[in-house]
Amino acid sequence: MPSKARLYAEVILPLPLFGTFTYSIPTTLEGKAAVGHRVIVPFGRKKYYTGIIESITPVAPEEFEVKDISSVLDPWPVVKHPQLKLWEWIAEYYLCTAGDVYKAAVPAGLKVESETFIELNPDYEEIPDARMTDREAIIMQSLDHNGKMTPAEISKKTGLNSIESTISSMVERRMLIIAEKLIERYRPKKETLVRLAVDRNDNEAMHKVFDAVKGAKKQEMMLITLLDNLNKRQQQQLPPEVPRQHLLEQSGLSPAILAALASKGIVEIFTREINRFNYTGTEQGELPKLSAPQSEALDSIHRMFIDKNVTLLHGVTSSGKTEIYIHLIDYILKKGSQALYLVPEIALTTQLTRRLQKVFGKRVIIYHSKFSDNERVDIWKRMLHDPSPCVVIGARSSLFLPFSRLGLVIVDEEHESSYKQFDPAPRYNARDCAIVLASMHGAKTLLGSATPAIETYYKALNGRYGLVTLSERYEGVQLPLIEIVDLNDERRRGRISGPMSARLAMMSREAVKGGEQVILFHNRRGFAPVVVCKQCGYVPKCQNCDVSLTYHRKAGEMVCHYCGATYKLPTICPACKEPAIEVYGYGTERIEEIAESSFPGARIMRMDLDTTRNKDSYLNIINDFSLGKADILVGTQMVTKGLDFERVSLVGILNADNLINFPDFRASERAFNMLEQVAGRAGRRNKRGLVIVQTSQPAHPILSYLQAHNYEGFYEHELEERRRYGYPPFTRVINIYLKHRDEDLLIKAAAGYAETLRHLFGNRILGPDEPHIARIQSLYIRKIMLKVEIQASMSKVKAILRSVYEAQMADKSLRSLVVYYDVDPM
Ligand SMILES: Nc1ncnc2c1ncn2[C@@H]1O[C@H](COP(=O)(O)OP(=O)(O)OP(=O)(O)O)[C@@H](O)[C@H]1O
Ligand SMILES: [Zn+2]
């Protein structure tokens, strides 16, 4: 029998393993399995995963036996061509695997995976004298009672801990069997509807229907409610069906009544899948009218885009960058394309959504990680099947949505470090990926900021990017006045108690009295960042991380801000046994409390990680503050950027030292940006705002640039430092992280690794160093830094890094060493 040539698929799996995996396409699936499709494939001994087909080839792999694809999940590709190209680029550039990118890019609901279930072996015959331990008996009973369960469920049901070894011994003795089952996590949303089972225009039939409910008052009422609704819907040209819930609520009758009508064959009750994506936006409204400088800037952007793919809009805070973005988006939508509007933090989507919906109505799509997985799948599906013009507002992961005709990407606050994902891989910078994504679509990118990243401004000045400047605030409001308060001096003069100088307290009080609002910014959350024994100096640390704990009073516990582990505050010092544990310092929780007592009558709100755990909490805080339901907003960096509150006249920065003193080459840049941004929240309308900066280093150069709102000056100063010490934009930095449970082994391994690298890269290698936090989640950490000249070939550099990795890992004793890279660290 002449065998037809087979086809093979290269499949990306959601696993941290390099490369793609080859599967054969069974003849039954030929034509159905194509690039970008979701497929279920077997992997390892028993597992099944959802993979994405990256490519198809007729060339059979030589060395090994390939397995078949088990099934193809959809009749269409779930990932489109430019997206796959972006994934490839990210994996290559950020030195991670395609699987890492896949995991981050696609909502979990689209990744059906197999899960391990344990069940009783129906063929197991109890041998009369076989001994069973108590634990085994309990597990047997529970499985008999509940049917198959995952190991975790068994643990929960039986209350037994560490059951893995018990289970595996029972499996070996054939008492239990392991089954793999595919779990689909995505649940489509369903709507239950009611329609009439007979033709409403058929008088005879309708007579019979009314006869059938004669005497049954409630059924008759229900029927009339239904008919009423159907009439109304007919007038509105809507389909002849009514949501069941609506009928029940309107009639005030029970589901049993409706069921009775159904059993008499009068109505039909049926369900239908609906997209959670909410189409109920308002209709398209007016575009904002631009001021003269804004229109000029918009024209310049259009002109820049003629020969530049990327343009930087450098506009001071409250200059109306958002309004310009809105005009650009409108232009793109009218051309029939889609736009992506990236913001660095979810908090920013709330105010923006409202501003954009006013103009673009239901064409605004919001996407970020606070959406439930089901909601994310629904948005994904909508984007997949509906290529019509839309604007997506989102945090970094919205980059991965299946755009079909992207025409414009806006990266607002492009300097923000939160665009960089630090953990887990892919450690990508969404701004830089957005530029690549746009170019893959032939689209343009607009970067916007009042404080551009040094690298971005450098590229703009050198002509790589277009540059458009907007140097005045909307309606010519002056940039806020910056007043520096010297904390040391205040202490000497006894003019400070607690976290607030007398000056800041007085100005806050005055602002509130005058009906204005105040933002107090402090970049530490919790109640007190220092817990210490007064007697012996003992400081409680996280058991998993090299981090001292922060006391959270409301929760009544100490928290590790790295891994989230919580501990009880000891009353007695575990080291010296004295009851001398004290808490010091200030976090936002404590500042809120102090503000409450210092400003009696003032209404105070707090916005930080602890008060914004769920999706609506941002919205509520921002809305309430906008509506003037509070006078003072205390917050962490969340309050610093992009937010637009009309009545804020005073911003207090409680401790600028926390920002300035950071041992890393980006510290000054980060501090300047954050200070300028938070200052920019003050006095955005009408009156000039005031910013009070408390610091013990009043002469620090950053602060004088801040006082003059002199971004260019700061840039020149910082660029000189970067040049002198060989940092970006003059070099490219790749940090190589090594982690291991065993510190001694790690120290040796890191020294060896750095030595090998130094042979190849010379003095471009720095370290190994112990990072600021040298142990996280029980793993010790060392960092090696590689700085390469900007002209060097990155593909060569990366090839060398890979070969070093392979050579090092050949040493069996380093098997469990974790190695990863952070390319362009922030
Ligand atoms: N052309 C305009 N018409 C009406 N209002 C405007 C106009 N331009 C700006 N504004 C108002 O001025 C305020 C500041 O504008 P916007 O928030 O766009 O500034 P921004 O440049 O994005 O500032 P930031 O960098 O601080 O985020 C907003 O409340 C906005 O509505
Ligand atoms: Zn920890």
Mean pLDDT of the chain: 89
Across 310-322, average pLDDT: 94
pLDDT value for 190: 81
- Of 44-58, 117-131, 732-746, give the range with the top mean pLDDT: 732-746
* Residues 101-139: tens digit of each pLDDT: 999 999 888 887 767 788 888 877 766 556 788 888 899
pLDDT value for 278: 54
CA–centroid distance, 320 to ligand 1, in Å, is 3
3-state secondary structure of 184: coil
pLDDT value for 1: 41
pLDDT value for 127: 63
pLDDT value for 160: 85
What phi, psi does 182 have (nearest 5°)?
Answer: -80, 130
**Cβ of 323 less than 6 Å from ligand 1:** yes
The model's confidence at residue 91, banded by pLDDT at 50, 70 and 90, is: very high
Ligand lying closest to the C-alpha of residue 290 = 1
Q: Is the pLDDT of residue 612 over 80?
A: yes
Across 461-482, average pLDDT: 91
Mutation test residue for ligand 1: of 393, 449, 474, the one with most atoms within 8 Å of CB:
474
pLDDT value for 407: 96
pTM: 0.82
Higher local confidence (pLDDT), 460 or 214: 460
Q: How many CA atoms lie within 13 A of 42 on its CB side?
A: 10
pLDDT value for 430: 97
Q: Is the pLDDT of residue 603 over 80?
A: yes
| Ligand 1 atom nearest to 291, measured from its CA | 1
CA–CA distance, 375 with 522 (Å, rounded to integer): 34
Higher local confidence (pLDDT), 419 or 809: 419
Q: Is the pLDDT of residue 784 over 60?
A: yes
Vertex 683, ends 682 and 688: CA angle to 5°? Answer: 125
Is residue 545 marked as binding?
yes
In this prediction, what percent of the chain has a pLDDT beyond 70?
96
pLDDT value for 733: 95
CA–CA distance, 416 with 429 (Å, rounded to integer): 10
Higher local confidence (pLDDT), 45 or 639: 639
**Cβ of 319 less than 6 Å from ligand 1:** yes
The model's confidence at residue 335, banded by pLDDT at 50, 70 and 90, is: very high
What is the identity of the amino acid at 633? L
pLDDT value for 665: 86
Across 287-313, average pLDDT: 95
Residue reference for tokens 């499996």: 171
User: Alpha helix locations (H) across 681-817?
Assistant: 701-707, 711-725, 743-761, 794-809
In this prediction, what percent of the chain has a pLDDT beyond 90?
57
* Residues 786-810: tens digit of each pLDDT: 999 999 888 899 999 999 998 888 8
Across 741-760, average pLDDT: 93
pLDDT value for 774: 84
pLDDT value for 2: 43
pLDDT value for 694: 95
Vertex 473, ends 709 and 826: CA angle to 5°? Answer: 50
pLDDT value for 617: 84
Across 696-711, average pLDDT: 93
pLDDT value for 284: 65
Output the residue whose Cα is nearest ligand 1's atom 26.
317
CA–centroid distance, 410 to ligand 1, in Å, is 16
DSSP 604: E
CA–CA distance, 276 with 380 (Å, rounded to integer): 11
pLDDT value for 126: 67
The model's confidence at residue 813, banded by pLDDT at 50, 70 and 90, is: confident
Across 542-568, average pLDDT: 89
What is the identity of the amino acid at 436? V
What is the identity of the amino acid at 687? K
* Residues 358-372: tens digit of each pLDDT: 899 889 999 988 788
pLDDT value for 730: 95
Output the residue whose Cα is nearest ligand 1's atom 10.
320
Residue 313: left if φ>0, alpha if ψ -120 to 50, beta else—which one?
beta
Q: Is the pLDDT of residue 381 over 50?
A: yes
Across 396-409, average pLDDT: 94
Is residue 96 marked as binding?
no
CA–centroid distance, 477 to ligand 1, in Å, is 11
Ligand lying closest to the C-alpha of residue 545 = 2
What phi, psi does 464 have (nearest 5°)?
Answer: -65, -40
Q: Is the pLDDT of residue 396 over 60?
A: yes
* Residues 649-699: tens digit of each pLDDT: 999 999 999 888 777 889 899 999 988 988 888 888 778 889 999 999 999
Going by C-alpha positions, the residue among 516, 504, 673, 499 that lies closest to residue 588 is 499
Is residue 560 marked as binding?
yes
pLDDT value for 279: 47
Q: Which domains does the chain show, CATH number per domain?
A: 7-112 (3.40.1440.60), 198-265 (no CATH), 292-476 (3.40.50.300), 481-529+585-721 (3.40.50.300), 731-823 (3.30.70)
**Cβ of 14 less than 6 Å from ligand 1:** no
CA–centroid distance, 298 to ligand 1, in Å, is 14
CA–centroid distance, 319 to ligand 1, in Å, is 6
CA–centroid distance, 560 to ligand 2, in Å, is 5
The model's confidence at residue 760, banded by pLDDT at 50, 70 and 90, is: very high
pLDDT value for 712: 96
Q: Is the pLDDT of residue 298 over 70?
A: yes
- How many residues are listed for the chain in this entry? 826
Q: Is the pLDDT of residue 374 over 80?
A: yes
* Residues 145-177: tens digit of each pLDDT: 888 888 888 988 888 887 887 888 888 788 888
Q: Is the pLDDT of residue 581 over 60?
A: yes
* Count of H-run helices and E-run strands, the chain: 25, 35
Q: How many CA atoms lie within 13 A of 644 on its CB side?
A: 18
- Lowest-confidence pick of 108-117, 468-477, 568-577: 108-117
**Cβ of 474 less than 6 Å from ligand 1:** yes
